[in-house]
Amino acid sequence: MTNATMDMATVQKYLDGSPFIAFCGLKVTEIDIEKQTITMIAPLRPEFERGAGTGQWHGGPIASVIDTVGDFALAMLLNTGIPTINFRVDYLKPAINTALISTATVRRLGRTVGVADVDVFNESGALVAIGRGTYAIPPSK
C-alpha cells in the first residue's frame, strides 16, 4: 500500500467527476485517515423517491450511496479508484424527507481485497440502513 492518501478535496473531485455520483449530489463531510473512516451526505432528490411526492427514499439510491461511500473509504487510503466485487444492504427503517448521512469504516485492507462497513443515518441520527462492500485492491506497482 502506498503512503499517499486522498484528502477531502481530492475525494470530492473524484465524486464530482463521475456523472452518476455528481447527479446523486454526494458531498464529503469528514475524513479520518487514522480511524479509516469517511462520511458523506446525500440530499433527497425527487428522482430518488420510492413514489412521486412521498419523500421516501427508494432502496436503489440508498444502495448506490452505500457502495460509493464504502468504495471511497478504501480509495482514500490507496489514492486510487477501486472496483466493487460485491456488496449487501440491510434496510432498517424508511428514510423520509431527509438527507442521508453515511459513514464508511474500513474493516480490512488486504493485498487483493478490501472490506468496508457503511452506516446510513437520517438527519435526526436514526440508523436507516447498513451495508458492507467488498472491493478489489489493484496490484502494487
- Full residue range of the structural domain in which residue 55 is found: 8-136
pLDDT reading at 42 higher than 50: yes
Please indicate, yes or no, if residue 141 is contained in any of the structural domains. no
Using one digit for the tens of pLDDT, what is the confidence trace for 15-27? 999 999 999 999 9
16 within some domain: yes
Number of domains in the chain: 1
2 in a structural domain: no
Q: Residue 60: inside a domain, yes or no? A: yes
pLDDT band at 1 (very low <50, low <70, confident <90, very high): very low
C-alpha cell at 84: 466493487
pLDDT tens profile 50-87: 999 999 999 999 999 999 999 999 999 999 989 999 99
- Sequence-distant contacts of 28-31: CB under 8 A, at least 24 apart: 28/72, 29/101, 30/103, 31/6, 31/7, 31/76
| CB-CB contact of 78 with 6 (8 Å) | no
- pLDDT over 90 percentage in the chain: 94
For residue 12, tell me if it sits in a domain. yes
The tens digit of pLDDT for each residue in 117-129 reads: 999 999 999 999 9
